Amino acid sequence: MSSNPQLRRAVTPWGSFSWGYSDVGADIFIGLGLVLAYAAGASNFAFLFAGLVYVCIGLAYTELAAAYPVAGGGQYFVLRGLGDLFGFIAGWAVLLDFTIDITLFAWSSVDYMSQLLPAVLASVHPWSHFLVVLGLIGLLCLLNVIGVRESTAFQGSVAAVDVLSETLILCFGFLFAFQPQILIHTMHVSWPSMFGLMQGTSLAIVSFVGLESISQAAQETQRPASVIPRTSVVLILTILIYAVGYSNLALGMQMWHPVHDAHGHAIAFWQLFPGNGDNQGKAVALLSAQIPYYGLLAQFYVPILGAILLLISANSGVFGSSRIAYSMSTSKLLPSVFQRIHARFRTPAASILTFCGLAVVVLIFAALPQLDHGARAVYQRLFHGEDGITFLGDLYAFGAATSYSFVFVALVALRLFDPMTPRKFKIPFNIPMRVRGERVEFPIIAVIGFIGIFSILVFTLITHDIGRVAGPGWLILGVFLYFLYRRNKKLPLFRSQPHDWRTAQTSILKNAGELELMDEYHANLRASDERKRALR
């Protein structure tokens, strides 16, 4: 291994889209069942609320990733905007998210496979389920150590097939299965309690996590300042459409093959999910099989497509966590072992191995209640018997909401205190003002987004027993380790170490091939320095 090589720029515009899509696009495969289970007749509203917050997040990430195209994404933005300690906390929360991502998506991938192979993989065989998930995590670890280009090409093809497939499911669904009167009836009869609505909304954010992947890939994307805004806007709208579309369809669909309860009464589609962890993990496969005509084909290929897409998303988790750790390590927030690049494959192999190992630990905690009766009793007493997939969903929502909250604050701070960095894409609706003699623009959308995501964080803490304990526990552990590391290195604990952001930004833009933006940045700096000299 060597510490000199740089990450290679192998990701094209479509590659950048597919990195994001295969992560966020796969989220609906998990999120739909979880949200239907808790938000019931208000699932479409839960998705719409979380989706609007996600649009704000997406716009924030688009602006920041285009302006600062480095591996690290949200963590790096918070570091630049708010300093070392908050940068570490945001990065640590994102690391939790990506670690959970590896386990959650590998887990759900097996759930989708179980739709076709119920005799082998269904949770009635908890050990085989556990071992297959474990094997998948090991495989992804190996794939990522070998290199990014190979997995990007594969992701691109699967993302293309999935966009087509999800669109066709929506088309056939809304043409042949959707009945607006059923939607209205379901929303009237099955509107959840306030607690259920908060729980569902906090889980709905699970369907919108993944833009981090685009900014992760920014350091490996060609001409990121031009590519990132283009891919992000399309990605944001596509994902929002699928989330709102699937939830409306699920609440208002006439099932092609009606399912009956124990008393012989036909049940509504959404009623397949409450209290049924198996169904929650494969909601899109169940929905597509209920679409008239197209369901004949979809029931066979959607479980396979879902399983592959979820596996790719788990792969994004491995990719993302290793890149964030790389970025945090170069900023002296984590030990230098995380920035070592493999001399042959040019990938951060040490980071990949570490976070795949952590994902296995999380998997054991999630699977324990299914594998051992004693553990099930303990979980029942402490966490009201949440099953494995809800356990993972809780932590995923907590990590996402925490890191996104910090990113909004960082966006405001960077707009106010770093106006010299050229922004090829800027979030609309700003208030012009002057700070330290410089003209800046205050982003109103960031404030709205912060209120939205912070309320989702509060919902998560109020309604999720495991998220309430394990999420803050992870953050406290991280801050403790951070202080320990900084003390050993004789670096300031609460304050930031001196950073030369001017040189860093020049280097970032140069490495990204954004030479015009680099010239613009230098011209802005010169003009700013002259203004300051004139004021003296």
Partner 1 sequence: MIRLRTGFYFLYVALGTIILVRVLSFGVRFETITGIVLGILLIALGIYRLFQVTRVRTSKR
Q: Are the C-beta atoms of residues 273 and 279 closer than 8 Å to each other?
A: yes
Crossing angle of helices 74-82 and 294-330, in 10° steps, is: 40
Binding of partner 1 at residue 181 (CB under 8 A)?
yes
10 Å Cβ neighbour count for 401?
Answer: 27
Least Å from the CB of residue 514 to partner 1: 21
Query: Tokens representing 132?
Result: 């297959």
The closest of 62, 68, 60, 63 to 20, measured between CA atoms, is: 62
Write each residue from 481 to 520 as x if it is in contact with partner 1 (CB under 8 A), else as -, in one continuous string: ----------------------------------------
Q: How many helices (H) and strands (E) does the chain have?
A: 21, 2
The one segment of 41-49, 115-123, 200-208, 408-416 that binds partner 1 by CB under 8 A: 41-49
Question: Rg of the chain over CA atoms, in angstroms?
Answer: 23
Least Å from the CB of residue 534 to partner 1: 43
Binding of partner 1 at residue 174 (CB under 8 A)?
yes
Among 240, 298, 318, 457, binds partner 1 (CB under 8 A): 240
Among 171, 267, 451, 476, binds partner 1 (CB under 8 A): 171
Question: What does the alpha-carbon distance between residue 506 and residue 394 come to, in Å, rounded to a whole number?
Answer: 40
Q: Is the dihedral of CA 127, 128, 129, 132 positive or negative?
A: positive
Question: What does the alpha-carbon distance between residue 459 and residue 201 come to, in Å, rounded to a whole number?
Answer: 8
Among 134, 146, 161, 244, binds partner 1 (CB under 8 A): 244
The one segment of 92-100, 137-145, 172-180, 306-314 that binds partner 1 by CB under 8 A: 172-180
Q: Are the C-beta atoms of residues 298 and 62 closer than 8 Å to each other?
A: no
The one segment of 19-27, 131-139, 178-186, 522-530 that binds partner 1 by CB under 8 A: 178-186
Question: What does the alpha-carbon distance between residue 286 and residue 267 come to, in Å, rounded to a whole number?
Answer: 14
Q: Are the C-beta atoms of residues 236 and 59 closer than 8 Å to each other?
A: yes
Half-sphere exposure (Cβ direction) of 452: Cα atoms closer than 13 Å: 24
Question: What does the alpha-carbon distance between residue 206 and residue 34 come to, in Å, rounded to a whole number?
Answer: 9
Question: What does the alpha-carbon distance between residue 50 and residue 206 come to, in Å, rounded to a whole number?
Answer: 9
Write each residue from 246 to 275 as x if it is in contact with partner 1 (CB under 8 A), else as -, in one continuous string: -xx---------------------------
Binding of partner 1 at residue 428 (CB under 8 A)?
no
The one segment of 239-247, 291-299, 456-464, 527-535 that binds partner 1 by CB under 8 A: 239-247
Least Å from the CB of residue 183 to partner 1: 6
Among 12, 128, 167, 506, binds partner 1 (CB under 8 A): 167
Least Å from the CB of residue 452 to partner 1: 16
Question: What does the alpha-carbon distance between residue 29 and residue 107 come to, in Å, rounded to a whole number?
Answer: 12
Question: What does the alpha-carbon distance between residue 285 and residue 295 come to, in Å, rounded to a whole number?
Answer: 10
The one segment of 23-31, 168-176, 376-384, 423-431 that binds partner 1 by CB under 8 A: 168-176
Q: Are the C-beta atoms of residues 454 and 444 closer than 8 Å to each other?
A: no
Among 117, 120, 189, 237, binds partner 1 (CB under 8 A): 237
Write each residue from 182 to 221 as x if it is in contact with partner 1 (CB under 8 A), else as -, in one continuous string: -xx--xx---------------------------------
Of 44 and 115, CB closest to partner 1: 44
Binding of partner 1 at residue 48 (CB under 8 A)?
yes
Among 19, 29, 45, 105, binds partner 1 (CB under 8 A): 45
Q: What 3-state class would DSSP assign to 128?
A: helix
Total of chain residues touching partner 1, rule CB under 8 A:
27
Residue 221 β-bridge partners: 11
Q: What 3-state class would DSSP assign to 441?
A: strand
Of 45 and 77, CB closest to partner 1: 45
Judged by the rule CB under 8 A, the positions of this chain that interact with partner 1 are 44-45, 47-48, 164, 167, 170-171, 174-175, 178, 180-181, 183-184, 187-188, 233-234, 237-238, 240-241, 244-245, 247-248
